[in-house]
Amino acid sequence: QRKNPFSRDDSLGSKPLHTHRGDPTYGRPPEGSRTEQRGKDAHLHVGKEVQELCLIIRSTGEVGEDGHVSVTFGQLFETYVTISNKVVGILLRARKHGLVHFEGEMLWQGKDDDVVITLL
C-alpha cells in the first residue's frame, strides 16, 4: 500500500515509500506532520529541563577554587528528585551538550552519591 488507509493525511500518498541513507530526509518525519511537531515540542521541553537542572546546581552547589560550581550527586538527587524523576537522564543530556562534567558513564543513587558534578 502506498497510503495508510487509516490515516487522515492525504499528502502521505504522494511521498516515496522508502528513503535511503544519505538522503537528508532519512530517519525524519515528514515536514509539517504532527510527528515532527511532537519531536520539536519534546526537544524544547528537555532543553528547559536541562536549563532548570543547571540552575539547581548553581543554587545548591559551592564555588570551587577553579571558579566552577560543584555539587555531589547525592545532594543534587535529593534536591532535584522533588522537581523531576528524570535527574540522571537530564544530567546525561547536559553532559552531552558540554554543560556539566562528572566521572563515569552512569550515576546510580546510593552507589554514586559522592560523585562530584561540575557545572561548566
pLDDT in tens, 23-67: 888 888 888 899 999 999 999 999 999 999 999 999 999 998 999
Say how far apart CA 2 and CA 16 lie, in whole Å.
8
pLDDT of residue 27: 82
Q: What domains appear along the chain, each with residue ranges and CATH number?
A: 34-119 (1.10.10.1540)
Q: Which of 6-10, 21-25, 79-83 is predicted with the least confidence, judged by mean pLDDT?
A: 6-10
pLDDT in tens, 81-97: 777 778 899 999 999 99
pLDDT of residue 3: 64
| pTM of model > 0.75 | no
CA atoms within 13 A on the CB side of 60: 19
Say how far apart CA 115 and CA 27 lie, in whole Å.
37
Instruction: Spell out the SS3 assignment of the chain.
Output: CCCCCCCCCHHHHHCCCCCCCCCCCCCCCCCCCHHHHHHHHHHHHHHHHHHHHHHHHHHHCEECCCCCEEEEHHHHHHHHCCCCCCHHHHHHHHHHCCCEECCCCCCCCCCCCCCEEEEC
Task: For residue 79, count other CB atoms closer than 10 A to its CB.
Answer: 16
